[in-house]
Structure 1
Amino acid sequence: MNKKNNPLIFKKLKKLYLLFLISILCINSIIAQSFIANGIAYNITSSETPFTVEVTKKEQKYIGAIKIPEEIMHGEKTYTVTSIGNEAFQYCSSITNIELPNSIQHIGELAFMNCRKLSQIEIPDNVKTIGNNAFIYCHELAKVSLGSSLTSIGDNAFRYCYLLENIEIPDQVTYIGDLAFHSCSILSSVKIGKSVVTIGGDAFSSCKELTTIQLPNTVKTIGDGAFRNCDKLTSVGLGDSVETLGDMAFDNCISLSNITLPNTLKYMGGSVFYNCIALESINIPDLVQSIGYYAFERCSSLNSVTIGKSVKSIGQEAFSECEKISSLIIPNSVESIGIGAFAQCTNLTSIVFGKSISSIGQNAFRGCHSMQEITCYSIDPPRLDWWVFTDVSKTIPLYVLRQSIDAYKSATGWKDFTNIQYEIINDNGILYVISSIEPNEVTVIGTEISGKIDIPSEIAHKYYDFKVASIEAEAFKDNNQIDEIVLPNTTTTIGERAFYNCGNLEKVSLGSSVDIVGVSAFEKCNKLTSVQLPDPLEEIASNTFKDCSSLTSIEFGMTLTTIGNSAFVGCISINSIEIPNSVKSIKGKAFEGCIELSNLTIGSSVSSIGYYAFKNCTGLSSIICLSITPPNLSSDVFGGVDKTIPVYVPTESFTDYQTADQWKDFFNIKTGIESNNTINFIVYPNPVIDMLVVDGILPDTQISIYDMRGKQIYTRISKTTKVQLDFSSFYKGVYILKVEENKKKGVALVVKN
């Protein structure tokens, strides 16, 4: 061949020749690294200190009893035997016994595959890993002792070891491989060490004699099919750290009757408990977001199901043919229910859908012919695929939220039900309707009991706890059977005419949270004697206490700003009114006709008083007005009031009151009140006979009392936010009470009767 004419071909031949030489050298090197001693083949794994070898396969199969030494001489060197190489004893079907030295650290893949007559083996304590398929098809292997240093068991490691009866997984093992003990058909006892994190797919599947299993708290993952077809498995302890249950993890465990899923569980695969016909109850933890397809299909003994509050989807046929389930609560988190999810649950009588359900797959409840009622808390009707409620009677009650009735009556699939209604909940004789879901709130709509009505802060109904948030308009209207009402601190709203004309109602406790009281809420409650209004209330609506003829005292909250039209008109028994400093406006006729009203204190912030507000309050004997600027009066505010009674006003405002419209009609305007109040506090009762309460101050506040001539007659330092002052020895008349704290001050006039 002419090199000049064929340079490219020459270069290629040269490369092939070099590769051939390299291959010959490698083969010679391998041959040089392998040797046989005492009938056992070895491969040198380290030719430098420390000198090590692994046992390897040889052309003539091993037979009989094999004892592997800890060390072996070769040439002039002593080698430590540290591993059983891959395929070392593969298909050595005549080996009856093998003894491994303590120096062994690793057993390779397929190392003892198909050693059919091997009956027992002791894995030394220094072995850290057992490779994939290491003992697969060792059909007569009945006894295995695993060393204490073992950390992982490979895939298929002991698969088809039909005579293996028990196994103890050492505490250092973290991983049990896929199919590791698959079809160990008489394996009845398994003890799993305290470090295992992962149990591989089908690791113990078809272990027909396994009855119980207890996993350590370290296990986080149970692989697909890990325990499926374990026919005699009755109970499982999953520990408290499992996060994942793979597909078919306990599929067809027909004797499994008891299992507790830990709160750490996040994922449940498909068919995870398929055909577990003995399983009676299941509680799905709150971290789980989906229930896989066929998860509990054919669990024919399952009678109790609790679905966690984070589940968003329920998969196809997840609970189909669960014949003993009688009731279901679908939590608010669930958005979709898959095809046939609860099909053929033939004893299912009731189901509650949470607020988030938006779609239900075809045949989801097909064959549920025992259904007696359905409740759906979704405001908008969920979308229904075909035949969702086939075989379910359409005359049973379908309970929906009150505001959603019309929507369900016109929605595809739902409109087929002829008895769509909202629920009236009777809890201990008090009647409620659901007003919202998340927040879960109910509204009181009435009662079936008499006497004292003590309304609870919350009630339980169909899995949910509901807060009692409001009293419906006209809830107790014309009810003459009740004499006392106690509202919880959760109630914020009292509807219009809620207690209208409750003729025998004597006592009312409004709780601490009411901020809305509707028009005429207590109108004509003519036996009601006293009311304390809570601080959140800013407005007393029109006619709220109109014609409450027995009402003698009213205590206003410290955030009240408005007293509405005719709020107390006709309250003929009220003898004293102290309008707090927070009030800015008193509307028309607010206290008209309160003929027993003798003492009136108007707070410092009142700027306007509506027409006839105090008209015909003929019993008035004194008025105290703390406002620096005379409040603007509409027409005839004090009509019928004696104009000779004393009217006490701030000192600097004396002239303004003497010239202000309608104020100037009073002949006996007096001074002695300081203005510029910067402490908002209250005093009661006012007028006082013996003990006066000063409330809303700070500790270390100085309290002083002066007579109308300005002489100090009492002083003290408060140690609390509320104090009592003894007025029993004071003469009848008007007194000035001053409070001072860190340059802040406040003043009130107190009438002593």
Structure 2
Amino acid sequence: MKKLWILLCMIVSLLCVNKQVYAASANPNLTVSTVSAEPGSTVEVPISIANNTGICGAALSVSYDEKLVLTGVSAGEAFSSMAFTKPGELSANPVKLLWDNVDVDKTNGTIAILTFQVPKEAGTYKVSVSCEADDVIDSDLNSVTLNIANGGIQVAEKSNVIGTGTCGTGVTWSLGQDGALTISGKGDMKNYTYKSEMPWYKYISQIKSVVIKEGVTSIGNYAFYGMSGMTKITIPKGITSIGAYAFKNSTALDGVQLPTTLKKLGESAFFGCSGLREIAIPEGLYTIWGYTFKNCTKLEKVTFPSTLIKIDEAAFYGCASLKTLTIPDNVSIIGIYCFKNCTKLNSVQLSANIQQIREAAFYGTALTELTIPDKVTDIGKYAFKNCTALKNVIFSKNLKKIDDSAFYACGGLTVLNLPDSLTEIRDYAFRKCTELKTVNFSAGLKTVGESSFYGCEKLTELKLPEGVTDIKGYAFKGCIGVTTITLPSTLKTMGESAFYGCTGITKIEIPKNVTTVGAYAFSRCSKLSQVTFKGNAPTIGDYAFAKVTAKISYPSGNATWSKDKQQNYGGTLTWSEAK
């Protein structure tokens, strides 16, 4: 009997507990959110309801930490069928929030949003809701009990970091609010294939400086491409490689100190860094790769290491502020376009070991004088074209070829002393050298190229050496100051318009080995009055003597001078056998 009584008591007890749990879980849940905020910021704190059993009126009291400033109260999407009355005075603490309606509202969600100005000090600032009995009622005017969970605002110390991540195995990056990008760790940075791949790309406009910590051993390709706001980069000792395009178009960068450990400086690494003024390449570096400093328009001073062997293609193209250069003696290669359009470059000391000056290497510079070292055998196309201030050139004693347009429009040249080793002057080589008065041709010369001295109006005498076999078309066209021409016995061909418009010559002797006189060869040589052919009749082109009135003689008894050869060729010519 006693055991049965105990069992009945236990059943009754369990029923009572379950009834209490059910009653508690059936109550609506009111929650004040806990939110995070930065010091001194404005933040919203929602108040929400869940498990709404039906409410047609509510009066809530909201209390908050005295360091908070309530700046606004707005209704949420829940309780939308009820009339919402905001507090009349926001500075009150606590404030009252009122809802009223005839019909019951069972919506769940946010019932109100509180907006606070938070203090600048870090900390936890409470926001709480309370209500008295009968402050919340249902449709039968019965009191509704709320399960309230209060919250508040967590204000943390303001972080200086706006982004972090990895940029290589064992290498990390961090960007601060001050715009300083820090690279740290051990090992090589990752190489990227374009700027949009770099992990800080979305912050690129915010970056003002870059600091690379010791332990990092390389700077990756495209690592800092296009950082137009970056003014400073710190590169530590231990960096051995700077990748291709690493700082390209970082236009505000005005100072870089390269570490002594650097062994490789990649292609286009500082291309377009138009704020850069000075650079010292460290000892131990052997090659400056193509386009490395192209269009660094404010670059005024470059110091090269004694270890340097090669300066590659267009490495300093368009460095318009560069004035002087001393190229170390170990340099044997200067690439094409290397110093093109360095428009203020007025002095260059070339390496003693350089063997070739390549295409357009010094095109458009301000050089005034030039000594070409004796190991140079070839001056490439356009090498010194448009060097309008160039007045004096001392050529290599071993020079063999001056290529197309090499000194085109070098209007300051007055005298050329060409070395006896030179065998070929290519097309347009000295065209429009308008102040050129004297050319001392090389004893080894074989060919005078097309238009090579076209428009050299101040030349007075042409004495071509024995050994020359070919004068190509337009070679001396428009040389109006020439009064004397001496042609070598080895000459075989005179090209089209070779002496066109040489209005100062009065007589010319055509050597016996000449087989071709090109069309217009002596056209408009208006003072030419005497022409002597010394050998067999050559092929004479149309209008070879156009606008010329002259007496022409040929070897007596030479049967090759038939009547059909004795034409006017566009002029007025009187033919006779030499006496």
TM-score, with length taken from structure 1: 0.46
Distance in 1 (alpha carbons) for counterparts of 2:357 and 2:242: 25
Residue 271 in structure 1 maps to residue 415 in structure 2: no
Corresponding residue number in structure 1 for 2:94: none
Corresponding residue number in structure 2 for 1:281: 415
* Residue number among 362, 383, 393 corresponding to 1:227 in the alignment: 362
Shift of 1:125: 2.2
Residue 260 in structure 1 maps to residue 394 in structure 2: yes
Contact 1:34 1:42 in 2 (8 A): no
* Residue number among 203, 212, 216 corresponding to 1:68 in the alignment: 212
* Residue number among 276, 285, 309 corresponding to 1:150 in the alignment: 285
Provide Cα deviations, 1:7-60, integer angstroms capped at 9, x if missing partner.
xxxxxxxxxxxxxxxxxxxxxxx998364145568799xxxxxx8423656321
Point out the more displaced range, 144-153 or 236-245. 236-245
Residue 347 in structure 1 maps to residue 487 in structure 2: no
Contact 2:338 2:361 in 1 (8 A): yes
Distance in 1 (alpha carbons) for counterparts of 2:250 and 2:407: 35
Tell me the amino acid that sits aligned with residue 463 of structure 2: I
* Residue number among 357, 367, 389 corresponding to 2:522 in the alignment: 389
Distance in 1 (alpha carbons) for counterparts of 2:167 and 2:241: 23
Tell me the amino acid that sits aligned with residue 199 of structure 2: E
Contact 1:169 1:192 in 2 (8 A): yes
Residue 334 in structure 1 maps to residue 468 in structure 2: yes
Provide Cα deviations, 1:638-692, integer angstroms capped at 9, x if missing partner.
xxxxxxxxxxxxxxxxxxxxxxxxxxxxxxxxxxxxxxxxxxxxxxxxxxxxxxx
Gapped regions of structure 1 (runs ≥ 5): 1-29, 45-50, 72-80, 423-753
What is the DSSP-based 3-state SS (H/G/I as helix, E as strand, rest coil) of the residue aligned with 2:262? coil
Corresponding residue number in structure 1 for 2:111: none
Distance in 1 (alpha carbons) for counterparts of 2:213 and 2:172: 13
Shift of 1:283: 2.4
Provide Cα deviations, 1:518-554, integer angstroms capped at 9, x if missing partner.
xxxxxxxxxxxxxxxxxxxxxxxxxxxxxxxxxxxxx
Provide Cα deviations, 1:572-609, integer angstroms capped at 9, x if missing partner.
xxxxxxxxxxxxxxxxxxxxxxxxxxxxxxxxxxxxxx
Tell me the amino acid that sits aligned with residue 217 of structure 1: A
Corresponding residue number in structure 2 for 1:307: 441
Change (3 A) 1:420 1:120: farther
Tell me the amino acid that sits aligned with residue 346 of structure 2: T
Contact 1:260 1:283 in 2 (8 A): yes
Contact 1:176 1:199 in 2 (8 A): yes
Shift of 1:185: 1.1
Provide Cα deviations, 1:435-481, integer angstroms capped at 9, x if missing partner.
xxxxxxxxxxxxxxxxxxxxxxxxxxxxxxxxxxxxxxxxxxxxxxx
Distance in 2 (alpha carbons) for counterparts of 1:31 and 1:253: 46
Distance in 2 (alpha carbons) for counterparts of 1:31 and 1:394: 78
* Residue number among 328, 348, 360 corresponding to 1:193 in the alignment: 328
Shift of 1:416: 8.2
Change (3 A) 1:56 1:93: farther
Point out the more displaced range, 98-107 or 134-143. 98-107
Distance in 2 (alpha carbons) for counterparts of 1:179 and 1:200: 7
Distance in 2 (alpha carbons) for counterparts of 1:115 and 1:411: 62
Change (3 A) 1:395 1:265: closer
What is the DSSP-based 3-state SS (H/G/I as helix, E as strand, rest coil) of the residue aligned with 1:249? coil
Distance in 2 (alpha carbons) for counterparts of 1:43 and 1:310: 63
Distance in 1 (alpha carbons) for counterparts of 2:529 and 2:323: 50
Contact 1:271 1:294 in 2 (8 A): yes
Mapping for residues 723-734 of structure 1, pairs under 5 Å: none
Mapping for residues 350-749 of structure 1, pairs under 5 Å: 350-376=484-510, 378-393=511-526, 396-398=529-531, 404=534, 407=536, 418=551, 420=553
Shift of 1:315: 1.5
Tell me the amino acid that sits aligned with residue 212 of structure 1: S
Shift of 1:394: 7.3
Number of equivalent positions: 372
Corresponding residue number in structure 2 for 1:123: 258
RMSD of aligned alpha carbons? 2.8
Corresponding residue number in structure 2 for 1:92: 227
* Residue number among 409, 429, 441 corresponding to 1:295 in the alignment: 429
Shift of 1:255: 0.7
Shift of 1:333: 2.1
Shift of 1:410: 10
What is the DSSP-based 3-state SS (H/G/I as helix, E as strand, rest coil) of the residue aligned with 1:122? coil
Seq. identity, %: 28
Contact 1:33 1:43 in 2 (8 A): no
Contact 1:381 1:411 in 2 (8 A): no
Shift of 1:106: 2.0
Gapped regions of structure 2 (runs ≥ 5): 1-165, 176-180, 193-197, 556-579
Distance in 2 (alpha carbons) for counterparts of 1:140 and 1:32: 29
Distance in 2 (alpha carbons) for counterparts of 1:311 and 1:215: 25
Tell me the amino acid that sits aligned with residue 392 of structure 1: C
Contact 2:483 2:505 in 1 (8 A): yes
Corresponding residue number in structure 2 for 1:240: 374
Shift of 1:218: 1.0
State the structure with bigger RCO (CA 8 A, min sep 6), 1 or 2: 2
Contact 2:448 2:472 in 1 (8 A): yes
Shift of 1:171: 1.6
Corresponding residue number in structure 2 for 1:36: 172
Shift of 1:362: 1.0
Corresponding residue number in structure 1 for 2:561: none
Distance in 1 (alpha carbons) for counterparts of 2:528 and 2:167: 87
Shift of 1:398: 4.1
Contact 2:400 2:421 in 1 (8 A): yes
* Residue number among 182, 187, 190 corresponding to 2:317 in the alignment: 182
Shift of 1:91: 1.2
Provide Cα deviations, 1:400-442, integer angstroms capped at 9, x if missing partner.
6xxx36x3699776998525489xxxxxxxxxxxxxxxxxxxx
What is the DSSP-based 3-state SS (H/G/I as helix, E as strand, rest coil) of the residue aligned with 1:144? strand
Change (3 A) 1:347 1:53: same
Provide Cα deviations, 1:49-87, integer angstroms capped at 9, x if missing partner.
xx842365632146223222221xxxxxxxxx3322211
Corresponding residue number in structure 1 for 2:340: 205
